[in-house]
Amino acid sequence: MKKSLFAALLGGLALSSCSSDDDITVVEPTVEIPTSYSFSREGSTSVSYSGQTTRLEMSKELFTAFNDFDNATEESLSNMFANENNPFSSDDLNSSSKSVKSKVAASQAYFSGNSVESNDIKNEFEGWISQQVNEVFPNKDQVAAAGVAGQIADGSNVRYVNAQGLELNQVFAKSLIGGLVADQMLNNYLSTAVLDEGDNIANNDAKVLEDGKNYTTMEHKWDEAYGYLYGDSSIPTDNPNNALGESNDKLLFNYLGRVDADDDFAGIAEDVFEAFKTGRAAIVAGDYELRDEQTAIIQENISKVIAVRAVYYLQGGKEAIANGEMGSAFHDLSEGFGFLYSLRFTHDPVTNAPHLSKSELDTFKEQLLAGENGLWDVEPATLDAISESIAEAFDFTVAEAAE
């Protein structure tokens, strides 16, 4: 079944020609919203986001290799990041023209005129790879201590941290949620600069399709944004929210589910999915005002997911420190650091900028690692102060996020 949402009607107003018998009624097209993200043309699907699925698969294999002490090298991990020299176990991934690195900090809205910061961010990801191989790997059998890289117990798990207590595989993965997924989704494919580029509006209105494809350029750009959230191969295409908490996704969809499971934020996953469906239907109908309203819903809610998880992990780390569980603390704080890093890529639809400035976020990161030994020296008051600042910027409370 489909439900219909009617755009504001300019119709109903009669336009008169020279003869009153020639009255014309102008009616805006109906926006038909499907129950699933299913759109077709001439009996065939018009939805495509295979490139996003490819990058999500590349990311997962890279994450696994991050702790492959016996086989991974700095070169092999860097090659996975850039998709060079056939680094993956899959021939399909190796033969792809896609890569993770090329899309990190590469959005039109934030980085098209900011190549210096874009390159700095890519270099930071490369730096975490280098630290993991050159600092953590050689000390994998060493017991970690303040200023000493090595392993540390976290209940029945073993964590591997650098000299500052950072678990670099977690820092890398959680930072990629912002640097790759959120940036491409919120600041690139959903930006008007990309959706309305060139003749996109005229071509979409006229249903001009891309060469050899079954979609207009605007339809495809919207689908690519969708794919960064829902494109993991383990997520069902009919209703991805049926896989919340059960998919193999390692990036944003996983944490959308975790935030949605918190009673304080219940329904956020449905709001995002409905906005994606409605926005795509609006594009089909040529209702760009409705499309932009859905963009704002997605930008605000996805940004909030990142902020909630940043606070969640900072508070989890604080609790673990109080209990003397340093392995658990470093694990949580490393994830928190990554989500804090990802806040750089959030999008406030009111200001069309991140909710927190780069300078504010840089200060937070410096505060986390301010002591001589980084996380070994972090104070609970610092974690609370950073958490409060984030929560205030996103209009929720620390208590709500910390549950």
Question: Residue 167 pLDDT > 70, yes or no?
Answer: yes
The Cβ of residue 239 has, within 10 Å, a number of other Cβ atoms equal to: 16
Instruction: Give the pLDDT confidence score for residue 27 in this predicted structure.
Output: 57
Tell me if 24 is assigned to some domain: yes
Taking residues 212-223, report their average pLDDT.
98
Instruction: Give the pLDDT confidence score for residue 238 in this predicted structure.
Output: 84
Q: What is the pLDDT of residues 44-100, one digit of tens each?
A: 999 999 999 999 999 999 999 999 999 999 999 999 999 999 999 999 999 999 999
Instruction: Give the pLDDT confidence score for residue 25 in this predicted structure.
Output: 56
Q: What is the pLDDT of residues 306-332, one digit of tens each?
A: 999 999 999 999 999 999 999 999 999
Instruction: Give the pLDDT confidence score for residue 298 in this predicted structure.
Output: 98
Instruction: Give the pLDDT confidence score for residue 211 in this predicted structure.
Output: 98
Tell me if 18 is assigned to some domain: yes
pLDDT band at 403 (very low <50, low <70, confident <90, very high): confident
Taking residues 261-273, report their average pLDDT.
98
The Cβ of residue 278 has, within 10 Å, a number of other Cβ atoms equal to: 20
Q: How many domains does the chain have?
A: 1
Instruction: Give the pLDDT confidence score for residue 358 in this predicted structure.
Output: 97
Largest CA distance in the chain: 92
Instruction: Give the pLDDT confidence score for residue 15 in this predicted structure.
Output: 31
If one compares 374 and 2, the residue with the highest pLDDT of the two is 374
Tell me if 293 is assigned to some domain: no
Tell me if 383 is assigned to some domain: no
**Residue 160 belongs to what H/E stretch?**
strand 157-161
Tell me if 277 is assigned to some domain: no
SS3 84: coil
Tell me if 220 is assigned to some domain: no
Question: Residue 7 pLDDT > 80, yes or no?
Answer: no
Q: Is the pTM for the entire model greater than 0.85? A: yes
Mean pLDDT of the chain: 93
Question: Residue 18 pLDDT > 50, yes or no?
Answer: no
**Residue 5 belongs to what H/E stretch?**
strand 2-6
Tell me if 156 is assigned to some domain: no
Q: Using CA atoms, how far apart are residues 376 and 379, in angstroms rounded to an integer? A: 9
Tell me if 283 is assigned to some domain: no
Taking residues 281-303, report their average pLDDT.
98
Write out the residue range of the structural domain in which residue 20 sits. Answer: 1-34
pLDDT band at 393 (very low <50, low <70, confident <90, very high): very high
Instruction: Give the pLDDT confidence score for residue 390 in this predicted structure.
Output: 98
Question: Residue 1 pLDDT > 70, yes or no?
Answer: no
Lowest mean pLDDT, pick from 3-12, 240-249, 326-335: 3-12
Question: Residue 10 pLDDT > 80, yes or no?
Answer: no
The set of long-range contacts for 321-329, using a CB threshold of 8 Å and a minimum separation of 24, is: 321/378, 321/380, 322/380, 325/154, 325/155, 326/152, 326/165, 326/376, 327/152, 327/153, 327/154, 327/155, 327/157, 327/158, 327/159, 328/154, 328/155, 329/375
Instruction: Give the pLDDT confidence score for residue 6 in this predicted structure.
Output: 35
